[in-house]
A and B are shown apart, each in its own frame.
Chain A
Amino acid sequence: MRKFLFQLAVTAGSQRCTVLSWRCRVRVRNHGWLLFVGLSLVACKPDGSQSKVSSAELTPLSPEEQLVRVSMALRGVRPSSADLALVQTDPDALMSLAQAYAESDDFATTAEDLFAEVLRMRSIELQLPNVIGDAGVYIGSQQDVRHALAEEPLRIVGEVVRQDMPLTTLVTADWTVLDDVSSEIWSDHDYDPEQGGVQVVSHTDGRPAAGVLSTNGFLLRHESNGGNFNRGRSSVLSETFLCDVYSNRDIPIAGALTDPDAVAAAINTDPACVACHQSVDPIAATFFPLRNRLDPNQITGAYDRGCEDLSRSQSCYPVSMYYPEYANYWQEVDMRAPGYFGADAADLQDVGAHIAQDPRFSSCMARRFAAYLTQRPIEAVPAEEVAALQQVLLDSQMSARALAVAVVTNPSFLASEVGTEPTELQIIRPEQLDRMVEDLTGLHLAVAVNDNVGDIPLMADDVLGFRAMSGGIDGASVTLPTHQPTPTKLLTIAALAEEGAGHVVDHDLAASSGERRLLMTVDSTTTDEDIVRAELVHLHGRIFGTIVTPNSPDVDDALALWQAVADADSPQLAWKTVIAAMLQSPEVLFY
């Protein structure tokens, strides 16, 4: 795939416009190569007047900086030394590398992280009983259960991206993805216990096929309480996939709306209420055959009864979440008939199909990917940019890969200044930090608590871990990430840097050359300055993404640190100190 980057000066009437363009060829599954063009209208100005922004004022980052930014945004890991060398000699190689990164498993993981944040799936409060001692039930550790519940809808995202399926599959898939724990929690699927592991499976209960929306994990995370009647689920659906937000609107309840009958009447007649409910309620009605909520005590209570003579809400494992006999329950509670923004929709499957055809879906996905990958509030992504990205998505058969590549190769994202405005730096997310450190050092920061609690991944957890403390969300009380340096983020990075440094140095100095990760040439006794410098050059490339020479000031500084510790302690400790320092440097914190 080649990249062509050019700019045009276009005169339209009395306006002189500058247009930046990037083109690339994208491999589309089963459709060969597709050439698409992305356009950024940078500035139009009356002839002779001062341009607000012009292509000449766009200051690109260096090829290496661009590569680091693209790699971190798409994959959450640093580029390899080979990739770095490639863009140094051929900056145009950035596009092909971006495409390759988008085809990687790490990008699928990034997409899962995106939707984990949007759907707040990885919630600190998401849990079901893992052990029911009297009944001899052991589903797995608490961590296993929490992970299984949260990841089900996210694994659909991962699979869609990994297989480059159209993004609309997120709301139309007739399959889900379970693991050995979730397969025991949920009933009515064709998971093969002999095979084990993570499997793409089908529901066997006849539930409507609506991708993420009909997964048990989604239903559990977004339960419907009391008189809500699935409106919360409808709101989440709309916000996630249409970017149409109901939750932040004022809700004018007052006076006579103190009893259910009055509320039901107002929803149908009061203009202030109808404005939202005319669209929220028909979608909400399609959720009725799916269980509204599942309390842990509904499971433990069922086992207390020996799984016999259970009340309607009680259930032993495996739990069924689909009750077709409640499909028309909307009538019982005087709600509007199922529908989708005025169109017929008999069930959630129809809703998913409508979403897939709704132009707001492609626009919303464009906006979400742009916002997440560039760490901007979703409302801060300009309409022109969204429109251009939406076109990329449509032209690529709804490919998340194509969309993501377009986002991260936008010239504005690869620039240090746009016009006279310096661009914002990105800050490393906890998920990226976790992946990056593991990729560089081999260390996955997790602690073993006990068989009941399980092994806790500390960068993906908030009960014992540091996710929210390092800028992530806990999905419950912290629902927005913090894209700023914080004292606890820096403490976390320091700890992770030291652990990673200790791990990789001990490993590499004991490993053969083919098995090393970071230290390629030195051994535990090496003190030769030239060899140490060469190793430091390698570390600068691998960790910082910068290409330096052995006698550069950067290497001088690192060598001074190394030498101070080597002289006082040992070369091994010196490497640990240097790598720990580099892993918490600003070049790693920001990109």
Chain B
Amino acid sequence: MTTNHNDMCWSRRGFLGLAGGLGACSLLPTLAWASGAPKRVLVVRAYGGWDVTFCMDPRLSTPGGPDGPDVTGSDEQVVNYDGLPIMASTYRPSVHNFFQEHASETIVVNGISVGSIVHGECRRRIATGSRLDSAADMACLAAVSHGSSETLPYLDLTGGGRVGPHAAMAGSLGRNNQILALLDRTLEVPAPDGTLFPRYTPSTSQRDALEAYLDQRRSQYTDRLGARASSSRVATLEAAIERQRALMESTVLQDNLSFGQAGTLVEQCELAASLMASGFCHSASVNSGANWDTHTDLDQQHLLYEDLFDGLGVLVDTLKGEQIWDETIVVVISEMTRTPLINSDGGKDHWPNTSALLMGGGLDGGRVLGGSSQDTLDALPVNLESGLLDPSSDQLITYGSFAAGVLHAAGIDASEYLPGEGVLHGIVD
């Protein structure tokens, strides 16, 4: 592979000669950035547990178990892309291409302590910054805070997004965009008995009359409820109906989706960016669609990273093409990383830390925040104000402080949703 004149190629020997953790790589000055402006948030989920040593928290030497292979291979090297040390490999050209082009716009956050190795628990924590089932994820909170006028403020493209009490402002399109069947009530679909759906689709006049009846019915119903109408379920009905009708009147989804098309990451990224730019939604979540849980087949991480960064490259280009790059913070997360050592099955198991990537939204990139210990991938103490490693600190970047930092960067008062959490100010301040 070729590198530009700004890159420094690190040999295996040279890297191992470095002291300390990767905080030493964060040598570029941190520019202060005035936060507070409302930002969109687009979360890219790479669930299953990515091995961060394959990319953003590189380790050239991955010790095997008693009989384990060294899967990193001899062609890998750590390349410094505008201040970001990234593992580069011929197996993952998209990673190189992405960072070669966008490193200066990307922040790497390493050593995020998740505190668990259970998939479901970790996904909740990294997405929301909380351990509560009632917590909403970062993209949802951005939509709730800043996006009330869109048709569907928070769009979760493949499900799995967490909405907490904000369900009225959120929606999923279904694994195969089956929302189209709900919006286009003229679609003919065969029933098992040989007949066809739809059995009844109201005409325009019938639907107008029907909705007028429902509006009146709902008004009478809430009047009769009295104090019970203030309960959260009833109180949010109006907002949900508003969005239901906006979806029915809009043709954006019909114009952009095909039924039965599950959507690769590239397709999801293009769609999310397009829908955000058109005002259909404010913030969104997409899913890499792959399972990163490589207990027995660590080599799969090559392909997974390749596909991920192929999608991220398209996402960045699309957001820029749609001219919403500067107002959209892209957050790339996985719920955990993998053990420092290879197991006896040629894979890696769960490890209770992770990394994240942040880009767009006017963020000052080319920086690494946080870090992990060289051999054991333990989260290292940081100064939350700067995000830089600080051995004298007793603070780690936790899932809570990371999420609070993202919310803060998106112009949201993190204390409203994550009270008591420290804020990783280093993302923007």
Contact = CB atoms under 8 A, between A and B. Distances in A.
Interface string B10-44: 00000000000000000000000000000000000
A484 B172 contact: no
Given A259-B341, A557-B213, A561-B210, A469 B172 contact: yes
Contacts of B185: 495, 498
A318 interface: no
B214 A584 contact: yes
Interface in B160-197: 160, 163, 165, 167-168, 170-172, 174-176, 178-179, 181-183, 185, 189-192, 194, 197
B226 to A, nearest CB: 7
A346 interface: no
A425 to B, nearest CB: 6
B131 A248 contact: yes
A377 B179 contact: no
Interface in B323-361: 339-341, 343-345, 347, 349, 351-352
A533 to B, nearest CB: 16
Contact of A482 (B163, B194, B203, B347): B163
Given A417-B227, A447-B190, A489-B240, A479 B120 contact: yes
B36 to A, nearest CB: 30
Given A258-B375, A448-B190, A490 B232 contact: no
A263 to B, nearest CB: 9
Nearest to B229: A422
B320 interface: no
Contacts of B377: 258
Contact of B247 (A427, A491, A577): A491
B199 interface: yes
B203 A258 contact: no
A569 B203 contact: yes
B115 interface: yes
Contacts of A521: none
B167 A484 contact: yes
A580 B198 CA distance: 13
B252 interface: no
Contacts of B344: 260
A365 B214 CA distance: 39
Interface stretch (B100-108, B215-223, B411-419): B215-223
Given A251-B352, A502-B199, A558 B213 contact: yes
A74 to B, nearest CB: 20
A503 B195 CA distance: 11
Q: For the side of the interface on A, what is the size category?
A: 35 or more
Contacts of A463: 175-176
Nearest to B375: A258
B167 A253 contact: no
Contacts of B47: 477
Contacts of B201: 498
B244 A491 contact: yes
Contacts of A443: 199
B159 interface: yes
A500 B198 CA distance: 10
B43 to A, nearest CB: 13
Interface in B80-128: 115-118, 120-121
A82 interface: no
B296 A226 contact: yes
Interface string A434-472: 000000000100111000000100000011111011000
A425 B209 contact: no
Contacts of A589: 237
Nearest to A378: B133
Given A251-B115, A491-B244, A584-B214, A485 B237 contact: yes
Contacts of A587: 217, 221
Contact of A259 (B65, B183, B189): B65
Q: Which 9 A-B pairs have the closest CB atoms?
A: A502-B200, A502-B199, A477-B160, A226-B295, A485-B240, A487-B243, A422-B227, A484-B167, A490-B244
Interface of A: 124, 225-227, 235, 247-256, 258-260, 377, 416-417, 422-425, 427, 443, 446-448, 455, 462-466, 468-469, 474, 477-480, 482-492, 494-495, 498-503, 505-506, 553, 557-558, 560-561, 564-565, 568-569, 573, 576-577, 580-581, 584-587, 589-590
